[in-house]
Amino acid sequence: MLDEPITIKQLAQMLGLAHSTVSRALNGHPAISEATKKRIAEAAAKAGYVPNSAAQSLKTARSHTIGLVVPDIQNAFYATVAKTIATAAADQSWQLVLAITEDQPGREAHAIESLLKAQAEGVIIVPTAAPEPETLAMIKRLRVVQLLRHHPRIESPAITLADRYGISAATEHLQALGHERIGYIGAPTAVTTGRERLQGFLDRFSASPESRDEAGARIQIGPPKKSFAADAFRRLLAMSEPPSAIVLGSQSFALGVLLAARQDNIRIPADVSLVGYGDSEWCTLLDGGLTALSLPVQEIAQACVDTLRKRLEMPPTRKSLARAAQPEHIFLPKLIIRGSSRRRG
Amino acid sequence: MLDEPITIKQLAQMLGLAHSTVSRALNGHPAISEATKKRIAEAAAKAGYVPNSAAQSLKTARSHTIGLVVPDIQNAFYATVAKTIATAAADQSWQLVLAITEDQPGREAHAIESLLKAQAEGVIIVPTAAPEPETLAMIKRLRVVQLLRHHPRIESPAITLADRYGISAATEHLQALGHERIGYIGAPTAVTTGRERLQGFLDRFSASPESRDEAGARIQIGPPKKSFAADAFRRLLAMSEPPSAIVLGSQSFALGVLLAARQDNIRIPADVSLVGYGDSEWCTLLDGGLTALSLPVQEIAQACVDTLRKRLEMPPTRKSLARAAQPEHIFLPKLIIRGSSRRRG
DNA sequence: ACTGCTTATGCACACGTGTGCATAAGCGTA
DNA sequence: TACGCTTATGCACACGTGTGCATAAGCAGT
> Tens of pLDDT along A170-191?
999 999 999 999 999 999 999 9
Interface size A-B, in CB pairs within 8 Å, comes to: 168
Contact indicator for B338, B284 with CB cutoff of 8 Å? yes
pLDDT at B1: 44
Instruction: Say how far apart CA B147 and CA B63 lie, in whole Å.
Output: 23
**What's the sign of the alpha-carbon dihedral A7, A11, A17, A20?**
negative
Beta bridge partners of B304: none
**Which protein residue has its CA closest to C1' of C6?**
A31
What is the DSSP code string of A178-231? T--SEEEEE--TTSHHHHHHHHHHHHTT-S-HHHHHHHHTTEEE--S-HHHHHH
pLDDT at B93: 95
Contact indicator for B125, B69 with CB cutoff of 8 Å? yes
Contact indicator for A43, A14 with CB cutoff of 8 Å? yes
Rg of chain A, C-alpha, whole Å = 26
User: Among B291, B301, B71, B307, which residue's Cα sits nearest to residue B193?
Assistant: B71
pLDDT tens digits along B150-184: 999 999 999 999 999 999 999 999 999 999 999 99
Q: How confident is the model at residue A285 (pLDDT cuts 50, 70, 90)?
A: confident
Longest dimension (CA), chain B: 89
Contact indicator for A132, A105 with CB cutoff of 8 Å? yes
The percent of residues in chain B predicted with pLDDT above 70, rounded, is 95
Instruction: Say how far apart CA B256 and CA A93 lie, in whole Å.
Output: 34
Long-range pairs for B45-51: beta carbons < 8 A, 24 or more residues apart? B47/B6, B47/B11, B47/B14, B48/A137, B48/A138, B48/A141, B48/B3, B48/B6, B49/B6, B49/B8, B49/B11, B50/A113, B50/A116, B50/A117, B50/A138, B50/B5, B50/B6, B51/A117, B51/B8, B51/B26
A8 CB less than 7 Å from any atom of strand D: yes
Sheet containing strand B158-161, edge to edge, reads A329-331, A158-161, A144-147, A122-125, A65-70, A95-100, B95-100, B65-70, B122-125, B144-147, B158-161, B329-331
Q: How confident is the model at residue B322 (pLDDT cuts 50, 70, 90)?
A: low
The percent of residues in chain A predicted with pLDDT above 90, rounded, is 81
A33 CB less than 7 Å from any atom of strand D: no
Contact indicator for A62, A94 with CB cutoff of 8 Å? no
User: 3-state SS string over A29-41?
Assistant: CCCCCHHHHHHHH
Residues of A in contact with B143 (CB under 8 A): 1
Residue-level length of chain B: 345
Would you call B74 and A76 a contact, using CB atoms and an 8 Å cutoff?
yes
pLDDT at A324: 57
Calculate mean pLDDT across residues B59-79. 95
Contact indicator for A294, A267 with CB cutoff of 8 Å? no
Q: Rounded to the nearest 5 degrees, what angle is found at the Cα of A188, between the Cα atoms of A184 and A189?
A: 95
pLDDT at A1: 44
Single-letter code of the amino acid located at A243: P
B35 CA from C29 C1′ (Å):
29
pLDDT at B179: 97
Give backbone dihedrals phi and psi of B182, rounded to 5 degrees, phi first.
Answer: -120, 130
A62 CB less than 7 Å from any atom of strand D: no
| Other Cβ atoms closer than 10 A to A302 | 17
HSE, side-chain direction, 13 A CA sphere, residue A245: 28
**What does pLDDT average to over chain B?**
92
Q: How confident is the model at residue A345 (pLDDT cuts 50, 70, 90)?
A: confident
Calculate mean pLDDT across residues B14-38. 88
pLDDT at A316 over 80: no
Would you call B100 and A90 a contact, using CB atoms and an 8 Å cutoff?
yes
**Which protein residue has its CA closest to C1' of C18?**
B59
The number of angstroms, rounded, from the C-alpha of B18 to the middle of its chain's C-alpha atoms is: 47
Instruction: Say how far apart CA A230 and CA B113 lie, in whole Å.
Output: 47
Contact indicator for A312, A157 with CB cutoff of 8 Å? no
Instruction: Say how far apart CA A12 and CA B194 lie, in whole Å.
Output: 46
User: What angle separates helix B105-117 from helix A76-91, to the nearest 10 degrees?
Assistant: 80
pLDDT at B320: 54
Residues of B in contact with A110 (CB under 8 A): 90, 93
pTM of the full predicted structure?
0.93
Lowest mean pLDDT among A6-15, A77-86, B73-82: A6-15
Instruction: Say how far apart CA B282 and CA A145 lie, in whole Å.
Output: 33
3 state SS of B34: helix
Q: How confident is the model at residue A5 (pLDDT cuts 50, 70, 90)?
A: confident
Kindly tell me the number of DSSP H helices and DSSP E strands found in chain B: 14, 12
What is the DSSP code string of B255-308? HHHHHHHHHTT--TTTT-EEEEES--TTGGGSTT---EEEP-HHHHHHHHHHHH
B58 CB less than 7 Å from any atom of strand D: yes
3 state SS of A99: strand
Return the H-helix or E-strand segment holding A95: strand A95-100
Nucleotides of C under 7 A from a protein CB: 7-12, 14-20
A84 CA from D11 C1′ (Å):
50
Beta bridge partners of A161: A331
To probe the interface with A, which of B2, B145, B154, B283 has the most A CB atoms within 10 Å? Answer: B2
pLDDT tens digits along A107-158: 999 999 999 999 999 999 999 999 999 999 999 999 999 999 999 999 999 9
Strands (E), chain B: 65-70, 95-100, 122-125, 144-147, 158-161, 182-186, 219-221, 245-248, 273-277, 292-294, 329-331, 334-336
User: What angle separates helix A105-117 from helix B76-91, to the nearest 10 degrees?
Assistant: 80
pLDDT at A227 over 90: yes
**What is the rounded end-to-end Cα distance, in angstroms, of chain B?**
70
Footprint of strand C on the protein (CB under 7 A): A 12, 16-21, 24, 31-33, 36, 55, 58-59, 61; B 5, 7-9, 19-20, 23-24, 26-27, 51-52, 55-56, 58-60
DSSP designation for B240: S
Would you call A111 and B90 a contact, using CB atoms and an 8 Å cutoff?
yes
pLDDT at A4 over 80: no
Residues of A in contact with B5 (CB under 8 A): 119, 141
**What does pLDDT average to over chain A?**
92
Lowest mean pLDDT among A195-209, A246-260, A264-278, B323-337: B323-337
Calculate mean pLDDT across residues A26-49. 88
Beta bridge partners of B310: none
